[in-house]
């Protein structure tokens, strides 16, 4: 394996404006530690790829500064920044073999043949590409091509890797496998990596820290666990988690939460107790369980769809309450699939996604009662969307 070097990446109030009416990135402050793997995530058009291209030197910075280690690279040409980029498209030379594709950057930099051969052999061994070195890209699978693209970046021994949705062209099963390979490769190399994706599952499984962007603004930059357990606002809560968090309008009266005919107790030490107000209530699908004899709050609705996942099932439950539809929840779910439970046109009742064990009987169109863990509630300000801690 090639001995790698790593440098931190720092962005100070970085902005990018494409025109008077289009500002893609706004005053972004971001600090990546040497050797850290961070992920930029957010819905389509949030500015994450623009941030990556500015770090690479492929986009000019409108305002602010970019540092690689202690070096200000804001106005340094891309080829002199000592970073390597892996794109969504593999960008391999079709007439070159795998060996020639991996070695191409070294040859352009005047690295001697013997050293090129040593580096290519080491990288090919680490990526399992040795049997494929004499093949051309047309004879490779999608996963193999992506490994060649990564090998071409690794062999340069850069100070940082920049990856722009490198797995998005792969099928679902191969993406899972490649995520595991990427994580292992990072542990072996220890090179600073900035990775862009719109897939929050990919972000949570790969990133040591994750930066959530919306409309060019940084919403939260923290560990995956902190993003899931302690989102700072309604947008982050909506975006992080699969299936997504459920939301309803609610009222806090005294030490209780009133919602959908339910009265839920607040924790005795909650700072919200005694502050009567309207709130947005958030409940993750994992906070529900089959109704049992032990009592406690329950929620009843009509099962409108069921996704069977073997040992668990996701049930879309329609409940007797008005749906909640905000700009933050809409923005967070631009990329959601057909299982989504956002309000649809003409929909007058809220829909909750709940996760239940696979052996719990569910009949479509029939009432279903589930219990709710009242200790796992989230509260947000209806006006600002900020989390009420």
Q: What is the pLDDT of residue 221?
A: 98
3-state SS, residue 3: coil
Per-residue pLDDT for 266 more than 90?
no
Per-residue pLDDT for 229 more than 80?
yes
Which string of DSSP letters, residue by residue, matches 310-368? SSEEEEEEEESSPPP--HHHHHHTTT--TT--SPPTT--SEEEEEEEETTS---TTSEE
Return the half-sphere exposure (C-beta side, CA atoms, 13 A cut-off) of residue 37.
Answer: 20
> pLDDT higher for 286 or 338?
286
Q: What is the pLDDT of residue 1?
A: 53
> pLDDT higher for 142 or 384?
384
Tally of helices (H runs) and strands (E runs) in the chain = 9, 20
3-state SS, residue 153: helix
pTM of the model: 0.88
Per-residue pLDDT for 297 more than 90?
no
User: Strands across the sheet with 312-319, in order?
Assistant: 288-290, 367-372, 298-308, 312-319, 350-357
Q: What is the pLDDT of residue 112?
A: 92
Domain limits of the chain?
Answer: 9-232, 239-380
Which residues are 120's β-sheet partners? none
Distance in angstroms (rounded) separating the CA atoms of residues 328 and 382: 11
Which residues are 40's β-sheet partners? 196, 211
Q: Domain spanning 9-232 has what CATH number?
A: 3.40.50.300
Q: 13: alpha, beta or left, given left = phi > 0 and alpha = psi -120 to 50? A: left
Per-residue pLDDT for 340 more than 60?
no
Distance in angstroms (rounded) separating the CA atoms of residues 378 and 275: 16
| 350-357/312-319 β-pairing | antiparallel
Q: Percent of the chain scored above 70 by pLDDT?
A: 95
Mind listing the pLDDT tens digit for each residue in 346-362?
567 899 999 999 999 99
Instruction: State mean pLDDT over 280-287.
Output: 94
Q: What is the pLDDT of residue 3?
A: 58
Which residues are 289's β-sheet partners? 371
Per-residue pLDDT for 2 more than 60?
no
Distance in angstroms (rounded) separating the CA atoms of residues 34 and 353: 40
Mind listing the pLDDT tens digit for each residue in 4-50?
667 899 999 999 999 988 999 999 999 999 999 999 999 988 999 99
Mind listing the pLDDT tens digit for each residue in 153-202?
888 889 999 999 988 877 888 888 888 888 888 888 889 999 999 888 89
Per-residue pLDDT for 341 more than 90?
no
């Amino acid at each position: 394996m090639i001995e790698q070097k790593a440098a931190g990446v720092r962005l100070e109030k970085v902005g990018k404006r494409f025109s008077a009416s289009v500002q893609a990135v706004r005053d972004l402050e971001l600090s990546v530690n040497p050797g850290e793997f961070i992920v930029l995530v957010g819905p389509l058009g949030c500015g994450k790829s623009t941030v990556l291209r500015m770090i690479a030197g492929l986009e000019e910075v409108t305002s602010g500064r970019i540092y690689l280690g202690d070096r200000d690279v804001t106005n340094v040409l891309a080829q002199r920044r000592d970073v390597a980029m892996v794109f969504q498209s593999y960008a391999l030379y079709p007439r070159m073999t795998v060996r020639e594709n991996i070695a191409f950057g070294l040859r352009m930099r005047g690295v001697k043949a013997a050293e090129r051969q040593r580096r290519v052999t080491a990288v090919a061994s680490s990526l399992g590409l040795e049997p494929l070195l004499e093949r051309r890209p047309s004879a490779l699978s999608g996963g193999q091509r992506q490994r060649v693209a990564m090998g071409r970046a690794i062999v340069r021994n850069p100070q940082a890797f920049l990856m722009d949705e490198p797995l998005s062209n792969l099928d679902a099963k191969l993406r899972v496998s490649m995520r595991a390979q990427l994580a292992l490769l990072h542990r072996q190399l220890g090179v600073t990596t900035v990775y862009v994706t719109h897939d929050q599952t990919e972000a949570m499984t790969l990133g040591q820290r994750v930066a959530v962007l919306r409309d060019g603004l940084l919403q939260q930059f923290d560990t995956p666990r902190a993003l899931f357990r302690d989102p700072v606002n309604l947008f982050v809560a909506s975006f992080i988690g699969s299936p997504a968090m459920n939301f309803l309008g609610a009222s806090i009266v005294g030490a209780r939460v009133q919602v959908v005919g339910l009265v839920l107790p607040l924790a005795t030490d909650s700072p919200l107790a005694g502050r009567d107000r309207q709130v947005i209530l958030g409940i993750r699908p994992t906070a529900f369980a089959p109704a049992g004899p032990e009592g406690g709050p329950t929620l009843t609705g009509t099962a409108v769809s069921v996704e069977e996942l073997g040992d668990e099932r996701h049930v879309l439950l329609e409940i007797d309450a008005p749906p909640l539809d905000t700009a933050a929840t809409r923005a967070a779910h631009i990329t959601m699939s057909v299982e989504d439970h956002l309000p649809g046109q003409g929909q007058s009742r809220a829909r909750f996604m709940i996760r239940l064990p696979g052996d719990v009987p569910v009949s479509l169109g029939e009432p279903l009662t589930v219990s709710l863990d009242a200790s796992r509630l989230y509260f947000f300000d209806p006006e600002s969307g900020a989390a009420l801690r």
